[in-house]
């Protein structure tokens, strides 16, 4: 609160030097972890993105459902198609207020190119209890290349506020053994 002495440019004390060095080394470590994981880790944030429009994306989703539909299931009382695409292929997931469409069926250990986009507002793709969370924007076709490592029924929660029915926006991914 008070003005410093006339000359305050003084060398650092021993303890300040020690802490500054240790803290700096820690910061360098924090920085290195990200590229290290990028090249060696198996969980990285997808970056593949394409421009799209709601009509284009909706058409792709419909074609995908028509081609690979294997059954039906209900969420919140609404009947939705269950769709299983061949391993290694493209699968589509559409977000719109307040629905994830369709229900996806995947095989454990297989790789899929999961396309996610929104037809209207911003949504949040939150796969539970796996706990993978991605932002979903209208106009952006976001491609996540995923390999399910566990089997069972997984819930997709919307975790970006998308007006009043937001909490009812629930989807499903079913993972079966190969």
Partner 1 sequence: MAALAPTTPWTSSAKDDYRVCGVTTLKVDMHTERLIIANAVMAVVCLVLGGIAALLIALTRWQAIHLLDATWFYRLLTLHGIDMLVAWIVFFEMAGLHFGSTALLNARHAAPKLAWTGFGMMMVGGLMANFVVLLDPQSTVAFTAYVPLKAHPLFYLSYILFAVGALITVITFFINIVVAKREKRFEGSMPLAVFGLMTAAILATYTLLEGAIAIVPAFLWSLGVFPNYDPGIYRNFFWGFGHPAQQVNLAAMVSIWYMLAQMTVGIRPLNEKFSRFAFILYLFFINLGSAHHLLVDPGLSFAWKAVNTSYAMYLAVLGSMMHAFSIPAAMEVALRAKGYNKGLFGWLRNGPWNEPGFSALVMSMILFGWIGGVTGVTIGTEQINMLVHNTLRLPGHFHATVVGGTTLAFMGFTYYVIPLIFRKELKLKKWAVWQPYVYGVGSALVSLGMITSGLQGVARRNWDITFAGVVPGTVNLTLAVFGIGAIIAVIGGIMYVTIVLTSILTGPRKEAEGLLLVSGTNNPLLDSTKLTDHQMEDKQNQPKGTLVLVFAFLVWFAVYYLSNWWLLGRTWFIK
Q: Which two tokens stand for residue 151?
A: 């089997």
Name every residue whose Cβ is closer than 8 Å to that of residue 157 and which is 6 or more positions away in sequence: 124, 126, 128, 169, 170
Nearest-angstrom CA–CA distance, 145 and 89: 10
Nearest-angstrom CA–CA distance, 85 and 105: 8
CB 112 within 8 A of CB 106: yes
Nearer to partner 1, 82 or 134 (CB): 134
Task: Give the number of residues in contact with partner 1, rule: CB under 8 A.
Answer: 82
Kindly state the helix (H) or strand (E) to which residue 172 belongs, with its residue range: strand 170-176
In the range 75-94, which residues lie near partner 1 by CB under 8 A? 76
Among 8, 55, 77, 78, binds partner 1 (CB under 8 A): 8
> Applying CB under 8 A, does 21 fall inside the site for partner 1?
no
Spell out, one character per residue from 122 to 141, where the chain touches partner 1: x when CB under 8 A holds, - when not. x-x-xxxxxxxxxxxxxxxx
Span interacting with partner 1, options 30-38, 62-70, 77-85, 86-94, rule CB under 8 A: 30-38
In the range 32-71, which residues lie near partner 1 by CB under 8 A? 33-35, 37-38, 41-47, 49
């Amino acid at each position: 609160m008070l003005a410093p002495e006339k000359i305050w440019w003084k060398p650092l004390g021993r303890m300040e030097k020690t802490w500054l060095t240790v803290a700096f080394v820690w910061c360098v470590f924090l920085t290195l972890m990200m590229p290290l994981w990028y090249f060696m880790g198996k969980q990285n944030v997808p970056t593949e993105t394409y421009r799209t429009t709601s009509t284009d994306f909706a058409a792709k989703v419909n074609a995908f459902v028509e081609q690979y539909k294997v059954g039906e299931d209900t969420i919140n009382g609404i009947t939705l198609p269950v769709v299983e695409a061949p391993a290694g292929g493209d699968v589509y997931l559409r977000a719109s207020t307040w629905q994830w469409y369709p229900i996806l069926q995947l095989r454990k250990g297989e790789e899929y190119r999961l396309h996610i986009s929104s037809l209207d507002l911003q949504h949040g793709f939150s796969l539970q209890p796996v706990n993978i969370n991605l932002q979903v924007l209208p106009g952006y076709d976001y491609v996540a290349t995923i390999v399910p490592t566990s089997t069972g029924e997984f819930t997709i929660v919307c975790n970006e506020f998308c007006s009043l029915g937001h909490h009812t926006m629930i989807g499903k991914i079913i993972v079966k053994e190969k």
